[in-house]
Each structure stands twice: as C-alpha cells, then as structure tokens.
Structure 1
C-alpha cells in the first residue's frame, strides 16, 4: 500500500510531453495533487489494471507474454513509495509498473484515460466498502433485537412531543430504531447494485463501451447516492443517540463501562460524550451529502477536475459513519436498563386513551368518548389527583356508560397487551418482531 509518509523524488509526468518545461507552479502543484487522498484506491487501481490488461490481450493489443509480464508486475508485493511527481494513485501505479517490467508498462494505458480509471476505481472501492458497512449494520440490528428480547417485560412511558403519551415496552422502543436501520441496510444493498450496474473502464476520456460514454466517465451519481445514504443512516443514528441521551438524563438507562467521560471541573460528572458525537455526525454527514451535490451542480459534460474532490467527501463519509456504527454497537451492547425507573415513570394519565377505548367498547363514538375523557382529565387536574382517583360516581356524572369494571382500565400491563396486531406492543407482537429481525 502507498506510504502515508512517502519518499520524494522526481520523474516525468504522464502529461509532460505537451509542455516545454516540466515545472509546475507551486500553487497548482498543491491543488492538483490528490495522492494523499486517492491512495486509498490502490487496491482497486491494481484490480482494474489487471482486468484491463486481459482486455487488451483479448483485443490483440498485448501479447500473451506482455500480459503476463504486466500482471505479474501489478501484483508483485514490494515496497511502494510515492515520489514528488505522483499526482494521483494512477500515476504512482503506472510509474511503479514501468520500473518493475520496463517498456511493456507503457502499453497498458492504450485506450484508457485517468477519467475512466478513477470512475472505475471509485466504483470498485465503494462496492468493497459496502460490505463492512452492511456487516456493522447487521451486527447492530441483531444486538438491538437481543436487547429487546432480554428486556421484553420492561414497561416504560412512550413519548410524543417529548410528553408522556402511552405505556410501551422498552423493547418496542429499541426495535423502532432497529427497523429504521434495517431499512438502511436494504437501501445500501440497492446502492451497491446500482454502483456496479455499469463499468466505465475502456471509455477513455469520453468514448467507449457503456450505454453512453460521455455520461459514464463523469457519472458520480453513485457517490452522491452513497453520501445521501450515509446522511440518512447518520440521521437515524442521531435520533437513536438523542433518545439515549434523554433516557440517560431521566434515568431509564446508563452507559456501560468505558463509554462515558468526566468533567475537568466537576468530579461527579459522567458524560455520554460518545453518544453526543454520534448525534453530531448526523449533521456532518448531511453536510457531506450537500457538498457532493453542490460539487456536481452545474458541471459541463464529461470529466472535469472538480470531480477530484469527490473522494475526500466519499472517504470521510464512509469513515465517519462506520465509526458511528461501531460506537453505537458498543453502547447498545453494554447498555444498562433501569427497569424500576422505567416503571416508576409511568402515570395513570397515560391511560386516558384506554379510558376512551373503554367507552368505545360500550358503543360510544370515539369522538364523543375522547371529549368525555377530556372532561375526566380536567376534573382530575382541578382536584389535584390522578385520573385514576376520580370516583365512579363522578365518572358516571360525566358519562353514564362508566360502571364498576372501569377499574380494569388502570393497568399498564393490560394497556400494552391490548395491542395484539403485528407491530403492536403486546409481548407476542414484540416477540414476532424480534424473531423477524433475527432472520436478517
């Protein structure tokens, strides 16, 4: 692999014959070089060059011996140092090949441009990168399902508008995030398939073998789509992180060992900084997606040097999201759930909807039932008591359909168990979700 601290030397540039002097202005030298970034394409540039050598042999450009010589040079394991004139990874690979096999290396670039090279290399890199991302997603999703199974009997408040709404299972909460990430997993599969749907290698600068060669050498839709995928997945991780931070603050959960930091001033603090930074990655990944789209906006046809900058966006998005996935897995894996605190935060007022359903079962239209229960809530607030403390007599003064069995409403367990439909909060429904995720 190319060194991060390469040795420097001088050699002819690939395009040097056009100019009287090989000298390049220092500013142009700095802005034009991309080797520090695109050296990550080293493996893919070798793979594409091997395939291209075989293609040139089939086309009669290379002899069998030349092909074998070139491929042996490309695949040779040895120290690979960068020199001053290596603008990019393609230049470096070709220079090294020429040093190893001699003049035959010059034939490899027949019909090929760095335009189609870099498009091909980037597609290959992205295809390779999708697998570890998918693996990390699957590991996280399955661990979330395992935690849901472990804590399936824990009840907690469900929130809307950051206000307590209805009782739910803790498992239902974590599975809601697991399903969002599973949708991301499926989208990533589609991104990978579309990325490899065409190979621009052999298109040269703008003529070649795809549906439209002018399009293929300049196409970076696959990079834009991947950065969007990273942004969306980052947003999903950010929302999970925000929930975790709120739950930490309330006391529902506690970070596992090694996943909090301290304060330089306050000795008692245990700060969930890692989760906060995962939340922040949702913002920076969105910015990278926007940067990629802005980079493409307004470009004229075929290749333009602007596209050199897509790799820094692509690699950074990949690195940031992969790290966020790994950190999130570590958090979920060791998260401590305080089941007592979860239950203690349940309030009878959260069963107001159940009280309305009670009237619905008595034949009262839901809108009327909703209004009647609103009056019950108002009465409880006026008296400074819980809704469950309103007497049967007072309930019947509001609606005659209330009777003695209304007391059965005041059960949090019964509340979550009533939702038996697929995806509901009953234990059976949650277990079906868990089993479905285990099959991923």
Structure 2
C-alpha cells in the first residue's frame, strides 16, 4: 500500500526538504483542530514580541507597524470566527503567520526573528493556562457564594452526620455544606499557587539556547503581565509543569465536586429523600414515568474520572522526555483543554444544583433521630456532670443503646428510670442532652456544628473573600 505525498514543502520549515510530507504525516503532525483556541494568546504574544523587536532596533519601524496592524486584523478575524483550518500549516502559530504574510507580504517574515516555535508555544500555553486558572477561580467563587448562602439558610437545620455511611452524631446541614466550602478554599489556593508558579515568560528562549540578537526579555515579560522572564532557556521550552499543576488542582477540585455529587444522588433517592431535585437539574425515564433522575450530578461525578485521566496522561507523557523540546509535548494540550472544559461545566452545574435544590428538613431530622445518634452526648454528660472517666462513660452509653434497641425505641425515648437502672449516676439533665437540638447546640468548639458556630464560619468566609 502506498502513502500519497504532497508536492509542496512546509512553508514554515520546508527549506531543508525537497518534497512535502506524506499525507498521513501531515495529518498526524497537525494540531490546528485542537490548538486553534490559542489564537488570542498567540497573537498577543506576537504583538509583544514585535514591539520588543522594534524597540530594540532589530526590525525597522515601518515593518514593525505593518506587523502590528496585520496582527490586529487577524485578531479581529479570529474573534469573528475567521479561522480556516489547513493541515499543511500544522497549528495556530503557522496559521497566524501565514495569514500575516497574506496581509502584509515580506514584512511578516521578520516577526519570527529571535523567536522559535518552541518558546512561542510555551508562552502561548502559559498565557492560556493562566486564563484557565482565572476562569476556574471565578467558577469556584460562584459555587462558594451559593454554598455560603445555603449554609446560612440552614445553619440550624438538623441532619445526621455520617461515618462509614452510618449515622454517627447529629450535625446541621449548614455545617455539612460548609465542609465543601473548606474543600473549595483549598482548591482555590492550589490554583492560586499554580498561577504564581507559572508566571514567568519563556519568550526569548528561542529553540533551546537563547538568541544572539539583542532582545529585551523583560520588555516582553512585562507586556504579557508576567513577573519576569524564565531563567534557563532549555527548561523554558521543555517545561510543562504548569500544565501538570493546573491538572492536579483541577483533579482535586473535580474529586471534591464528585463527592458532593454523590451525596446529592444519595439524598435524592427515595430511601433518603433529603432533597427534591428541581426540573432544571433532572431528567426522566423513557419507560418509567415516575422517575426523576439526578443525571447532572451523575455527570459531574463521572467527569472527575476523565479529569483524573487527563492528569495521568500528561504525567506519563512527560516522564521519559529528554531535554529540550520533543513533539510529544504537542499531545499535552488535548488533555489540558478537556480538563478545563469539564471542570468549567461541572462547577457551573454544581452551583446551579445547590442554588435550586429543595431541602427537606423533616426527613433529615427523622434520619438524625435514628441510629441512637446522641449516645456520645450521654457519655459526655456523665463525664461533665458525674465525673465518670470517658472510657467508662462510653461503656455506660453503649449499654443504654442496647437497652433502647431491646425496647425497640430511640435512645432519647428511654425514661430516667431506664437509664438509672443502667447506672444510677445518670441524672435528669441527661435527658435534655439526648435531644437532637441540644446535641448540635452543645458542639460549640471551634469548627463545631453548633448553629452559632456555623453562622460565624459563614461570616468569616465572606469577610475573607472580601479582602483585596
């Protein structure tokens, strides 16, 4: 079987080659279908580079002005959807350069002076990842706002607190929701750390060794809002740690969303019935008219698995690459873009669901009353009021649970005589301690579930977010 070959060499790098690449080679080498979304960042980086070349006298003012005007026109064309994909031009960088040549002629060829596609790609990707991080931070903030509002609304709504998916102690719904706010706060800090780390400009590293032209790397770094230029030209073009940093932060954030999605799925099921899903975030069944399926939550849960895969794909891609640049790095962009798209969708969907979910407090309260969830409160009362060592108090409370189960009643339905038959040191005050509201109100330690503590946590979170 023969593989057809084109008759023309590549307009970007074809001087070394007499013939063109095989059609299959052209197809496998092309990334325009994926990296066309970098157009804005590629043009902005080229504008900064052109400005630096003109300032340094490396290109003339007339050519520099023509390049700037041509790039501005391409920016406008791209903004209006004007990219015509051509595999022969390989990527967005080739497309922009070719279009610039069509617009301004020979002067376009001067733009690539003192620049390689290696440092160009690294710069464009850093600019895009920085934008993607800002997008994630915006989406996280929107979800945090919804969670804070619902947590404040339900600061005193009692629900079961689970360990091992078994009823452990009563908590408040507000407190439970604020646990996810803590996770999102850590997600935010990871994205912020990643943004700080990536904010060095690779432009000027050229292919891998720097350049002999008198460039000003501080000029381009400042123009593109980086903190400064990268320190090593080899690392500048080989580094994709910033992609891994983004994917790592995205993976943890997606896993947190998946945990919340799983709880929504459980809470919406009939055995729980803690929530009612709105029509906007549910689907029906093609055969069972009674069904209301939590498909949005299920897809958020599944997206986390794909984002984990995106992280692993890039880690495996990078693990054996020698310095400096290799074409393998081109395959780091599809997982990056995939993870961003999925995380953006998941964060927005979760914010919409949490905002519109109807909680059912009476179902939550009934579930909190089951499982003898205030047994620890009986033990704590014995420690605090009868000077009983906690381990002994734990055993006494355990016997009280066994007595309640024997009578087929809830622990707080045992009368004082029943409790004193187990241990005479149990006083009347213990009966109040066994009530759900008393239990949650007693948990006033820092970070506890007491309603006042939940409201304090909400206020503190809002104050923290309002700081510049």
Q: Are the equivalent residues in 2 in contact too, given 1:10–1:85 (CA < 8 A)? A: no
User: Among residues 205, 208, 216, which one is paired with 2:207 in the alignment?
Assistant: 205
**Could you list the per-position Cα deviations for residues 94-152 of structure 1 after superposition, in whole angstroms to 9, with x for gaps in the alignment?**
11111111111111111211111100000001111222221111011011111112222
TM superposition shift of 1:299: 0.5
User: Among residues 36, 39, 46, which one is paired with 1:42 in the alignment?
Assistant: 39
Counterpart check, 1:129 vs 2:128: no
Report the counterpart of residue 3 of structure 1 in structure 2.
none
Report the counterpart of residue 357 of structure 1 in structure 2.
380
Q: d(CA) in 1 for partners of 2:137 and 2:426?
A: 53
Q: d(CA) in 2 for partners of 1:353 and 1:195?
A: 49
Q: Are the equivalent residues in 2 in contact too, given 1:292–1:313 (CA < 8 A)? A: yes
TM superposition shift of 1:10: 7.8
Report the counterpart of residue 214 of structure 2 in structure 1.
none
With over 3 angstroms needed to count, the CA separation of the structure-2 counterparts of 1:273 and 1:27, relative to structure 1, is same
Unmatched segments (≥5 aa) in structure 1: 1-8
- SS in structure 1 at match of 2:267: helix
Q: Are the equivalent residues in 2 in contact too, given 1:142–1:437 (CA < 8 A)? A: no
TM superposition shift of 1:212: 1.3
Q: d(CA) in 1 for partners of 2:172 and 2:241?
A: 41
Report the counterpart of residue 17 of structure 2 in structure 1.
19
Q: Are the equivalent residues in 1 in contact too, given 2:122–2:202 (CA < 8 A)? A: yes
TM superposition shift of 1:391: 4.2
The alignment's C-alpha RMSD in Å is 1.6
Q: Are the equivalent residues in 1 in contact too, given 2:27–2:87 (CA < 8 A)? A: no
Structure 1 length normalisation: TM-score? 0.94
Report the counterpart of residue 408 of structure 2 in structure 1.
384
**Could you list the per-position Cα deviations for residues 395-438 of structure 1 after superposition, in whole angstroms to 9, with x for gaps in the alignment?**
33432321222211221111101111232111210001111222
Report the counterpart of residue 268 of structure 2 in structure 1.
248
Report how many aligned residue pairs link the two structures.
Answer: 430
- SS in structure 1 at match of 2:161: strand
With over 3 angstroms needed to count, the CA separation of the structure-2 counterparts of 1:16 and 1:65, relative to structure 1, is same
TM superposition shift of 1:27: 1.8
Unmatched segments (≥5 aa) in structure 2: 1-6, 211-216, 218-229
Q: Are the equivalent residues in 1 in contact too, given 2:310–2:335 (CA < 8 A)? A: yes
Matching of residues 218-233 of structure 1 within 5 Å: 218-233=238-253
Report the counterpart of residue 164 of structure 1 in structure 2.
167
Q: d(CA) in 1 for partners of 2:428 and 2:158?
A: 26
Report the counterpart of residue 407 of structure 1 in structure 2.
431
